[in-house]
């Protein structure tokens, strides 16, 4: 299913790269046609070929449509004091395309929620766990959080974006492997779209394993790759298009991974590459982890104070101080979850203890 989208302007050159981005990068969600006149737009509306109208304000003012029947978006090249009454949202065609399309989709989902959830081009139940310092126990916290959510009745799926993951250290060895599911993506022979996403979801389903912690708990993990290059290849330079297409590949993989579960939990590596940044940007919840040391606290503070990733997702962020002993990291964070120094007999035992500690922060984690 795609959203029928009409883009109209008397001067198409003003639209920059927006039409290209909307129709090519997101063809799984939007079917785009262009118009130059009011009559062409009215004809598209009357024939049922327009669910979203993106147009210059003067064209919108001359069009005929029932208020609320379609999503109406006005192109604007400057900040308006007030959005016109007949317009749902304004859009700057020269703004960052990802943010513009993100806003566009969610406005449509608000207008038609019964359809919006079906064709969502963005993850809806994604949690990422991240620490900029190695050794902070990021994977332990991520797996513990997965257990915590599964114990609350959610079906969850865990995967590590680390090129050299420690998944087997927690769950043990398995004959299954994500490399088989990503074979076409690694080779570069891939397609984007809902059909391909469902196919990828099916392939990923064949390489996921249920963690047998309890018959009533639905917790799954996706088996690690054959070698570190398989995950690394998601970031590969696309020679055919002359661009890095890791964001699009990452987004489609995340959508496929969350296809059959209530929540997808991704363990991000401390080295924040393009795929990790993409996952961070699309996440609905962020868990930032600091070890209770000055060095770990300083690294996390630097991450939060530089760039715009943290500021952009600050309202959806939970802070965790792991291996707590003296409180060296606590003061720099806003009301963190405190995990004491734990000494389990193996990595999974430690994760289980952390999950138990999280129960004390129910409603906060």
Per the listing, tokens 């016109």 go with 84
Please check the confidence at residue 26 and state whether its pLDDT lies above 60: no
Same domain, 144 and 279: yes
Q: What's the pLDDT score for residue 238?
A: 45
192: Cα separation from own chain's centroid: 16
Q: What is the CATH number of the domain that holds 51?
A: 3.40.50.10850
Give the residue among 354, 329, 349, 350 at the shortest CA–CA distance from 339.
354
Strand order from edge to edge, sheet including 3-8 = 30-35, 3-8, 52-56, 71-75, 89-91
Are 145 and 287 in contact by the 8 Å Cβ rule? The answer is: yes
| Most confident by average pLDDT, 81-85, 326-330, 346-350 | 346-350
Domain end: 65, 84, 116, which one?
116
Same domain, 155 and 26: no
Are 269 and 161 in contact by the 8 Å Cβ rule? The answer is: yes
Pairing of strands 208-210, 219-222: antiparallel
Query: Of all residues in the chain, what percent carry a pLDDT higher than 90?
Result: 26
Rg (CA), the chain: 23
> Cα 138–144–149 angle (5° rounding)?
125
Please check the confidence at residue 261 and state whether its pLDDT lies above 60: yes
Same domain, 106 and 132: no
Same domain, 91 and 11: yes
Domain of 87 in residue numbering reads as 3-116
Domain end: 116, 139, 159, which one?
116
Give the residue among 246, 247, 4, 234 at the shortest CA–CA distance from 119.
4
Are 12 and 62 in contact by the 8 Å Cβ rule? The answer is: no
Give the residue among 87, 47, 42, 88 at the shortest CA–CA distance from 65.
42
- How many domains does the structure of the chain reveal? 2
pLDDT tens digits for range 86-145: 788 887 766 655 556 666 776 776 777 655 444 556 677 899 999 999 889 999 999 999
Across 183-296, the runs of DSSP E, i.e. the strands, are 208-210, 219-222, 237-238, 243-244, 263-267, 285-291
Q: What's the pLDDT score for residue 244?
A: 44
Which residue has better confidence, 96 or 271? 271
Same domain, 216 and 177: yes
pTM, entire model? 0.69
């Amino acid at each position: 299913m795609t959203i029928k989208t009409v883009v109209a302007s008397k001067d198409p050159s003003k639209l920059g790269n927006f039409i290209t981005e909307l129709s090519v990068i997101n063809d799984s969600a939007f079917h785009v046609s262009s118009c130059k006149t009011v009559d062409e737009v009215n004809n598209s509306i009357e024939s049922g070929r327009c669910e979203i109208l993106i147009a210059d304000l003067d064209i919108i003012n001359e069009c005929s449509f029932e208020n609320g029947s379609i999503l109406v978006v006005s192109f604007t090249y400057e900040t308006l004091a007030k959005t016109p009454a007949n317009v749902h949202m304004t859009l700057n065609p020269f703004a960052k395309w990802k943010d513009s399309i993100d806003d566009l989709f969610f406005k449509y989902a608000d207008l038609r929620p019964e359809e919006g959830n079906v064709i969502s081009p963005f993850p809806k139940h994604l949690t990422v766990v991240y620490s900029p310092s190695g050794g902070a126990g990021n994977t332990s916290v991520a797996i513990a959080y997965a257990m915590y959510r599964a114990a609350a009745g959610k079906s969850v799926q865990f995967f590590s974006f680390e090129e050299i993951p420690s998944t087997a250290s927690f769950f043990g060895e398995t004959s299954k492997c994500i490399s088989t599911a990503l074979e076409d993506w690694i080779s570069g022979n891939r397609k984007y779209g809902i059909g391909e996403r469902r196919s990828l979801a099916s392939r990923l389903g064949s390489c996921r394993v249920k963690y047998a912690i309890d018959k009533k708990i639905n917790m799954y993990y996706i088996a690690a790759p054959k070698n570190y290059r398989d995950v690394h290849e998601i970031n590969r330079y696309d020679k055919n298009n002359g661009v890095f297409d890791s964001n699009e590949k990452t987004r489609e993989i995340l959508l496929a991974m969350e296809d059959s579960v209530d929540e997808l939990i991704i363990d991000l590596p401390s080295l924040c590459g393009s795929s990790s940044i993409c996952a961070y940007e699309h996440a609905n919840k962020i868990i930032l982890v600091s070890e209770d040391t000055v060095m770990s606290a300083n690294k996390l503070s630097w991450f939060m104070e530089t760039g715009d990733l943290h500021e952009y997702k600050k309202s959806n962020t939970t802070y965790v101080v792991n291996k707590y002993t003296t409180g060296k990291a606590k003061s720099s964070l806003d009301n963190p979850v405190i995990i004491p120094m734990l000494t389990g007999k193996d990595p999974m035992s430690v994760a289980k203890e952390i999950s138990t500690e999280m129960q004390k922060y129910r409603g906060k984690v």
